[in-house]
Each structure stands twice: as structure tokens, then as C-alpha cells.
Amino acid sequence: SARLAGKTIVITGASSGIGKATAIEFARTSPDNLKLVLTARRIDTLKEIAAEIEAFAKGVKVLPVKLDVSRPEEVSGFVEGLPQEWRSVDVLVNNAGLVKGMAQAPDIKPEDIDIMFSTNVTGLINMTQAILPIFKKRPDGGAGDIINIGSIAGREPYQGGSIYCATKAAIRSFTDALRRELISTRIRIMEIDPGQVETEFSVVRFYGDAEKARKVYEGVQPLTPEDIAEVVVFAAGRRENVVLADTLVFPNHQAAATVMHRKP
């Protein structure tokens, strides 16, 4: 959108899936002086994505930055680590997140609990706190967009997903409270909750077992990461008085977290 011309956009978890697709979609649709800061742990992958984007979108500058959002010391140094001309962030897409396993209490591994909470919840909160001071310096109490990627799992807990679902429910509470806290500003707090999207999500869930991950999508037609990327970019591109506060997106075969129509 022309409304995004000249903006600086930070995306977490931009090395794969929804985050990567979102970076490409911003670049494809808003080529005028857009600055994209792409962050994740896999810096080599980010560099390849940056080169890919700069090759097709001539007006777009891309800065790949290695950032593990689960490490508070990396997040607190993130803004200061950016070159000066990249620090005036306008949009933060809090997308980095993961699920580990399908275990049920009392058999959930402590390290899986830790990584899900420290990434999905504390990481998202720390990123938000790192960026908000930039937004708050602007007139009218502040301006800027935060787009949090939640999940249907945050609205509807399911068996074998207790921790992941709890992290996504925490994101939902944090997001709703933040929107209330910032009501006197021009800062927009938005949440987008995907249903089933085919990405590396299930490969990560099953600790790298690609065959198990493939079975999750058997007989169904999941969303693509591009489907969610279109919604993220649409939300960011609305007129400044419009807040797409809360959006749930399903593929056509899905009606609830565990209600899926599978073709035999």
C-alpha cells in the first residue's frame, strides 16, 4: 500500500513460514522506500531472503539481524544495535514462535515448557517493550503498529497442546491489555490468529521428523504462509484511524482448533 511508503518494519521469525512470507509481501506491495528489518536466529537464511527481496523490489532496503527473542539480553540491545537510519521503527510484527511436542501433563519436558514460554510469551513482551519507547516519542501520545501473531490455539485449548495453547492465550491477554493501556495514543495494537498453516511449524513440533509433520496436512488443504502474510500487510496498510484489532483466519476445511474435514 502507498500508505506504507517510507516506513520501517521489523519482523521477528522472518527466516521461515509466515514471517518470511510477510517480508516478501510487504516488499511486493509497498516498494517505495520501504525498510525491512528481518530478524531470527538463522542469520544465513535471513541473508538469502534479503538478497532475494532486494533483487525483485528495487525500492526496498533489507537489513538481516540475528536475534533470539528468547534471550532478554539480545532483545534489550536490539534497538541500539541498529544503524541510526533504521531505528525509527513504524511497524513491529511479533511473529517468532514455536511449538514442541504433543505431550500431556505430567509428561511434558521442562525444556519444552521453557522454550515455548520464553519465545512465544516473554520474547514477544520483551520485543514490544523494546519498540514502544520509539512509538511513544511521536506526537499525539505516540504512533506505530504492533501486529501480534496469535493462534486459534489461544482461543481454544486442545489435548496435547496445553503449553502452546497457554502461550497463545497469554499473547491474547497481553495484546488486549496493551490496546486498552494505549487508548490515548495513535498506536495500533492488532492480533492475527491463524488456523492451520503449512510451514516448518509441525516439523519443529515433532523435533525434525518430517514424515510425522507431513501427516498433519494429509487430506486437508491448509493455509499457505502467503495467505496470512496478505492479512498482516492489509492490517498495516489501513488508514491510520482503522484498527484491525482481532482477526481469526481458517482454511476452508477448518471450523475450530480440532474440527477439520479430511478427505479420505
* List 12, 128, 175, 254, residue binding ligand NDP (CB under 6 A): 12
Contact between 13 and 199 (Cβ < 8 Å): no
* List 8, 16, 126, 175, residue binding ligand NDP (CB under 6 A): 16
Report the candidate in 149, 134, 217, 148 with the shortest Cα–Cα distance to residue 179: 148
> How many alpha carbons fall within 13 Å on the CB side of residue 120?
27
Bridge partner list, 11: 38, 93
From ligand NDP, ligand 8X3, none, interface partner of 68 (C-beta below 5 to 8 A by class): ligand NDP
Position 199 contacts ligand NDP (CB under 6 A): yes
Contact between 40 and 69 (Cβ < 8 Å): no
Nearer to ligand 8X3, 116 or 153 (CB): 153
Measured CA angle at 66 (ends 33, 209), to 5 deg = 115
168 is catalytic: yes
CB of 109 to ligand 8X3, least distance (A): 18
* List 8, 22, 95, 185, residue binding ligand NDP (CB under 6 A): 95
Measure CA of the first residue to CA of the last residue in the chain; give whole Å. 41
- Residue given cell 496445553 in the structure block: 162
From ligand NDP, ligand 8X3, none, interface partner of 161 (C-beta below 5 to 8 A by class): ligand 8X3
Position 42 contacts ligand NDP (CB under 6 A): yes
Task: List residues binding ligand 8X3 (CB under 6 A).
Answer: 151-153, 161, 164, 196, 257
20 is catalytic: no
For β-strands 60-66 and 259-260, DSSP reports them as unpaired
From ligand NDP, ligand 8X3, none, interface partner of 19 (C-beta below 5 to 8 A by class): ligand NDP
Contact between 64 and 70 (Cβ < 8 Å): no
The type of residue at 246 is D
Nearer to ligand 8X3, 135 or 164 (CB): 164
For the chain, counts of helices (H) and of strands (E): 10, 9
How far apart are the C-alpha atoms of 99 and 216, rounded to whole Å?
Answer: 14
Residue nearest ligand 8X3 (C-beta atom): 151
Which residues between 55 and 74 bind ligand NDP (CB under 6 A)? 67-70
The catalytically annotated residue of 61, 100, 164, 207 is 164
φ, ψ at 40 (rounded to 5°) = 180, 180
From ligand 8X3, ligand NDP, none, interface partner of 108 (C-beta below 5 to 8 A by class): none
Catalytic residues: 164, 168
User: What is the binding site for ligand NDP (CB under 6 A)?
Assistant: 12-19, 40-42, 67-70, 95-98, 119, 123, 149, 151, 194, 196-197, 199-201, 204, 225
